[in-house]
Amino acid sequence: QKEVEQDPGPLSVPEGAIVSLNCTYSNSAFQYFMWYRQYSRKGPELLMYTYSSGNKEDGRFTAQVDKSSKYISLFIRDSQPSDSATYLCAMSGGNFNKFYFGSGTKLNVKP
Amino acid sequence: SAVISQKPSRDICQRGTSLTIQCQVDSQVTMMFWYRQQPGQSLTLIATANQGSEATYESGFVIDKFPISRPNLTFSTLTVSNMSPEDSSIYLCSVVPYTEAFFGQGTRLTVV
């Protein structure tokens, strides 16, 4: 079993839709959770960072962590074509020498 | 945060040759990390580079194939040696200044 599971998509939505991206994980020691956005031919860009359980909002983006279910989500409101990218989840148990990444979900927002 | 400059951004190389990828960070960091990202796959950690000591390699990666240098706290190189088409991938360097990982823009390597 992989440490982190993420649906690869692709996910195609119309402009303005609410997007939900998810990851599940198996290691209950994970405490730090991140979402990265990766445009084609670019490196991953940190989008959201959450410590432990709860929600965090930043503009159109909301990150949720449910540690009891070992499930994290990223919501994108009012999605835009510029949001079209691959979204990677990542997590760490506090040993910042080691991060665990999902395989990425490819999102396409159609104008 | 950290700003990472990685080069080259892409290259096409002949099999059997070597390519050195450079990574420059805008601040001093203790450790730098090198990843490989194959299409549709998760990031795979190749090695961790600590200034002043030999790099630590993950299972499946060896120093002869992926030699790493770390001459100071802001710079590292990764060499992909004796390349084969299976080495075609995106290579990324990363740093963790506090608790979040930051990445360079990646090197897209194609071996022909």
For residue A46, list chain B residues with Cβ-Cβ distance below 8 A. Answer: 1, 100-102
Which distant-in-sequence residues (6+ apart) come within 8 Å of B59 by Cβ? none
For residue A8, list chain B residues with Cβ-Cβ distance below 8 A. Answer: 40
Across the interface, whether the CB atoms of A98 and B45 are under 8 A apart is answered yes
Q: Which pair of structure tokens corresponds to residue A19?
A: 């997007």
* Residue B105: pLDDT band with limits 50, 70, 90: very high
* Pick from A2, A46, A102: CB nearest B100: A46
Q: Which pair of structure tokens corresponds to residue A103?
A: 């395989």
Q: What is the pLDDT along chain A (111 residues), one digit of tens a residue?
A: 788 999 888 999 999 999 999 999 999 999 999 999 999 888 999 999 998 888 999 999 999 999 999 999 999 999 999 999 999 999 998 777 789 999 999 999 999
B32-42 pLDDT, tens digit per residue, is 999 999 887 88
Looking at CA atoms only, how far is residue B104 from chain A in angstroms?
Answer: 6
* Residue B99: pLDDT band with limits 50, 70, 90: confident
Q: Which residue has the higher pLDDT, B8 or A51?
A: B8
Which chain B residue has its CA at the smallest distance from A98's CA? Answer: B45
Segment B2-12 shows an average pLDDT of 95
Interface size, chain A vs chain B, as Cβ–Cβ contacts under 8 Å: 58
Cα–Cα distance between A4 and B79 in angstroms, integer?
29
CB B64 within 8 A of CB B43: no
A50-64 pLDDT, tens digit per residue, is 988 889 999 999 999
Q: How far from A78 is each of A27, A36, B3, CA to CA, in Å?
A: 33, 18, 29
